[in-house]
Amino acid sequence: MDVVEFRTSHHAELSKFWKLYGWTPPSEEMLPKKGFVAFFAGQVVGAAFVYLSCNGMAFLDWVIVDPIKSPILRGKAVYKTVLACRTYAKEQGKKVLYTVTANESLLRTYKKMGFENMEKNATTMAMSLDGYKTDFLR
């Protein structure tokens, strides 16, 4: 499995994955500037993205895999793209990689990779600052 940096040409394929899960895909302008895409046998399997703050934090987000691919391929894609995000954040001098998930499988993978539970009973919230629809967050 190969991992490459996200390019705008990957967005259409990733959008198909988000739709297969019943989610509204984020527009390209909402995605972080840095993301990584996993390929196997010439096909996109998954991706992960990382936002960098101006301090020591990085935020891992928009982790997605093709739900039609085998569980093993999906797991490898998550691991490799999250690892690429972690490596990039460390190279940029970040001290903490933060993320949020409600997906139990992703939660287990994150724990295996060294993430720790930080909050319980928290609610994720967003506010549009310019009238932009936030339905892609649900």
pLDDT in tens, the chain (138 residues): 999 999 999 999 999 999 999 999 999 999 999 999 999 999 999 999 999 999 999 999 999 999 999 999 999 999 999 999 999 999 999 999 999 988 889 999 999 999 998 887 777 777 778 777 677 665
Query: Any idea what the Cα angle at residue 18 is, between residues 64 and 12, rounded to 5°?
Result: 95
Domain 2-137: homologous superfamily in CATH: Gcn5-related N-acetyltransferase (GNAT) (3.40.630.30)
Give the integer Cα–Cα distance in Å for 88 and 95. Answer: 12
pTM of structure: 0.90
Both structure tokens of 69 = 């691919």
Q: Which of 104, 37, 41 is CA-nearest to residue 77? A: 37
Domain boundaries, the chain: 2-137
